[in-house]
Structure 1
Amino acid sequence: MGRQGRIVIPAEIRRELAIEPGDKLIALNDDGELHLLTHAQLVKRLQDLFAHIPKGVSLADELISERREEARHEDDV
């Protein structure tokens, strides 16, 4: 790693992963390990993470409903 924090990815690895000059990579700290992902890889990872949620279900609406219910219980105490 250079003084400015830049990392050089060897050409062979760039070819294997189809990383082209100018591609933007997203750096993730995964439990102390550095992972570099392309935008497409990150989107795929997130889609897989939320794949179990049925279409039409809004996690935001569920969270709001839960918070309102909790607030009602706090008012009763």
Structure 2
Amino acid sequence: MNDNAIQMTATVRLGRRGQMVLPAEVRRALAVKEGDELLIAVWPGGKVTMIRKPRSFAEALAGLYGHLWKGIDPLIYQKTERETWER
């Protein structure tokens, strides 16, 4: 599956107090239930993204941008960086 492809779209309506109800298919896709927290990001141009709030941000971000480190030994990189601090 293409990670950039939209899995689904849904329409929601805001209530008087700004509340919205997520359709059941969206709740299933996000694996969320009553009381769960979601993160909403508002992007330039009015784009909005919503994800289930991860239990651990460290775990959720682990491996992100790993492709940038291809061929680089993290221990050697760290040692080199620390040596520049001592100069």
TM score, norm. by length of structure 2: 0.47
Corresponding letter in the other structure for 2:50:
L
Q: Residues 1-20 of structure 1: matches in 2 within 5 Å?
A: 1-20=14-33
Identity of aligned residues (%): 27
Aligned residues: 59
1:60-71 matches, within 5 Å, as none
Alignment of 1:34-45 (within 5 A): 34-40=48-54, 43=57, 44=60
Task: Specify whether residues 10 and 42 from structure 1 end up closer, same or farther in structure 2 by C-alpha distance, changes over 3 A only.
Answer: farther
Where does residue 38 of structure 2 map in the other structure? 25
Task: From the two aligned structures, give the one with the greater strand fraction.
Answer: 1
Q: Report the structure number with the largest CA radius of gyration.
A: 1
CA distance in 2, matches of 1:5, 1:36: 16
Structure 2, gaps ≥5 residues long: 1-13
In 1, Cα distance between equivalents of 2:56 and 2:26? 19
Structure with the bigger percentage of helix: 1
Structure 1 residue matching 2:54: 3-state secondary structure: helix
By how many angstroms is 1:41 displaced? 8.8
Q: Which runs of 4+ in 1 moved over 6 A?
A: none
